Structure 1
Amino acid sequence: MKKAFWGVFLLVSFAGFLTIYFIWPKGEDLPVLDKVKNFQLEDVHSEIYDINNNKVKLVAFFYTNCPDVCPLTMVDFKVLQERLKESGLFGEKVHLVAITLDPEYDTAEVLQHYASAFEADSIGWKWLRGTSEETSAIAKDFNMQYAKLENDFFLHSITMYLLDKNNNVRALYDMASVKNSVDTEEILDDMKILVGGTR
């Protein structure tokens, strides 16, 4: 039964990604794929984070008990953090945004400890949590699918979202895996386009 659920879940997620990828016009570098509604969530290093902040944002959903995809992706976020600092974009024009899917376990203290393991700089790398209801609504707005399994593990899609200053979704990327890291160079190039720079 569980194997069947996994199969159907992954098939639906993959079909949705392929639909967006193949039917969307390829005439421009970063077409508008969707728009995200405004939301506010707890920033575990500050108070409240408002997504409507005139920043370019790379958004990833994760949870701290994730055994592979999430921590591997956060390693690549650390690389992006350094590259963005070198480019003068970090914090000032671009935010990295990590939203937990498991706010019940991932308290502010847990997330602060987790962030420190990746040497995250809270000036431009935001770690967010909300209620379970808020998380579900925001994930749905991103067309991001997830489900809680046994032993505090989650099954979740592995898409990351690049938002422009108006919270339009302008690009989609895969999170990291054991075989493939995040394409940080591509993401950095796309971020530069959205903040008005060049490739």
Structure 2
Amino acid sequence: MFSNVNHSKRVRFVLFILISVISFIIIYWLWPKYDRLPVLDTVQPFQMESVHDDKYDLNNDKVKLISFFYTNCPDVCPLTMVDFKELQFNFKKEEIFGKDVELVAITLDPEHDSKQVLTEYAKSFEADPKGWKWLRGTKAETKQIANRFQMQYQRLDDNFFSHSITMYLVDSKNQIRAIYDMANTKKPIDKESIMKDIDYLVKSE
């Protein structure tokens, strides 16, 4: 009698385990899969003057890391460009620089940041124009494009601006897939996370 009871318990236990495993598999495959880099927004395509290539078109089927800056910026902008320089090196090492991925720097101060000023500024960071684009537009164009990224900025005086410190990871379909903080004196940009996110986008597109 006891033997039959124990056998029955073992059978029920085994059936419980099997049903649990099967249920887990069904839930795993049918549960909605969420992208680790969800679409945050879509940027309307634009063209801007590029100091090295005449015109830059956002519609170029590449992944971009976009940062707004200005050359008179005393802190976050130059610190961020130093980190961009290291990212440029890493992208070249991965053989994706210029081919699959671009760094894009858009000046907020086109009145001061002429083509010549930006060219010299780019040289100071050893920027390779093959995959590191430096852009400028008119004041109206700059404002319009900044608004597309919900980028906030305001001139404080003749030389300085107050501006958001957000960078944008944009995929080949012009969709914002991640945002990051620019560098500051206490913390560089999170290059490791950015590299992982860009690698993910390049391989999934």
- Tell me, in whole angstroms, the C-alpha distance in 2 between the residues paired with 1:137 and 1:74: 23
- Tell me, in whole angstroms, the C-alpha distance in 2 between the residues paired with 1:95 and 1:46: 14
Select 1:75's aligned residue among 79, 82, 85.
82
- 2:154 corresponds to which residue? 147
Structure 1 letter corresponding to 2:143: S
Note the residue ranges of structure 1 that are not aligned, 5 or more in a row. 1-25
RMSD of aligned residue pairs (Cα, Å): 1.1
Quote how far apart the aligned CAs of 1:152 are. 1.5
Deviations 1:109-142 (A, max 9, x none): 0000000000000000000000000000000010
Is 1:98 matched up with 2:105?
A: yes
Question: How many pairs were matched up?
Answer: 172
**More deviation in 147-156 or 127-136?**
147-156
Select 1:29's aligned residue among 33, 36, 40.
36
SS state of the match for residue 194, structure 1? Answer: helix
- Tell me, in whole angstroms, the C-alpha distance in 1 between the residues paired with 2:147 and 2:84: 23
Select 1:55's aligned residue among 57, 62, 79.
62
Identical aligned pairs, as a percentage?
60
Structure 2 letter corresponding to 1:162: L
- 2:12 corresponds to which residue? none
- Tell me, in whole angstroms, the C-alpha distance in 2 between the residues paired with 1:52 and 1:133: 21
Deviations 1:78-111 (A, max 9, x none): 0000000000110000000000000000000000
Is 1:120 matched up with 2:130?
A: no
Quote how far apart the aligned CAs of 1:46 are. 1.4
Runs of 4+ in 1 over 6 A off after TM superposition: none
Alignment of 1:112-191 (within 5 A): 112-191=119-198
Structure 1 letter corresponding to 2:178: A
- Tell me, in whole angstroms, the C-alpha distance in 1 between the residues paired with 2:200 and 2:190: 16
- Tell me, in whole angstroms, the C-alpha distance in 2 between the residues paired with 1:51 and 1:171: 17
SS state of the match for residue 135, structure 2? Answer: strand
With structure 1 as the length reference, what TM-score do the two structures score? Answer: 0.85
Note the residue ranges of structure 2 that are not aligned, 5 or more in a row. 1-32
- 1:3 corresponds to which residue? none
- Tell me, in whole angstroms, the C-alpha distance in 1 between the residues paired with 2:132 and 2:192: 18
Deviations 1:149-170 (A, max 9, x none): 1131000000000000000000
Is 1:64 matched up with 2:75?
A: no
